[in-house]
Amino acid sequence: MKLQTAIRSTVAIVVLLFGLLVAGGSPATAAPSGPSQVAAASYADCPSGNVCFYTGNGGTGSMCRWSDADPDWSAGSVRCSWAQTQPARSVYNHGQSTAYTAVAFYIGRNYTSYNGCMGRGWMGDIGPVFLLSHRWYNGAC
């Protein structure tokens, strides 16, 4: 009797795991909520041509990235799931366009309440600060 119960439990677990894998999930990890977000990131994960913001110091923690300006991180075409609940602590301007020399970041939506900027190719700690928008520009920081 105990053997039958153990076999049924094992079969149920195998069926559940198989269903998760077929559906594209994983029993050990959750997928990020969008292509712009990476969990447990580093500066090396920031693609060329993007600006990347991180929840941890030194380019660690969760990352959100953009290749264009975004006036509203919480409702724009690229959404950063943690922007309203966790502060940004570091940034990497991995931009490549010679049309822009820096990226400016803002506490408010629609580029309000300027907080700081990071020159092209620069990375570093910035916070903790809650940010909701950023834009590329040509000028000095």
Instruction: Provide the domain limits for residue 25.
Output: 1-30
Residue 97 sits in the same domain as residue 124: yes
* Best CA proximity match to 106, nearest among 131, 139, 77, 71: 131
Q: Is the pLDDT of residue 64 over 60?
A: yes
Domain count, the chain: 2
Note whether 17 and 37 are same-domain residues: no
* pLDDT score for 76: 81
* Model confidence at 127: pLDDT above 50: yes
- Do 44 and 98 reside in the same domain of the chain? yes
Pair (15, 54) in one structural domain: no
Residues 26 and 36 in one domain: no
Above 50 in pLDDT, residue 116?
yes
Same structural domain, 4 and 67 = no
Whether the predicted pLDDT of 35 surpasses 80: no
Task: Grade residue 73 by pLDDT with cuts at 50, 70 and 90.
Answer: very high
Looking at per-residue confidence, does 8 or 52 come out higher?
A: 52
The 10s digit of each residue's pLDDT in 93-109 is 999 999 999 999 999 99
In DSSP notation, 15-44 reads: HHHHHHHHTT--SS----SSTTEESS--GG
pLDDT in tens, 5-28: 333 333 333 333 333 333 333 332
Query: 59 with 90: CB under 8 angstroms?
Result: yes
Same domain, residue pair 91 and 114: yes
Could you tell me the pTM of the whole model? 0.72
User: What's the pLDDT score for residue 77?
Assistant: 83
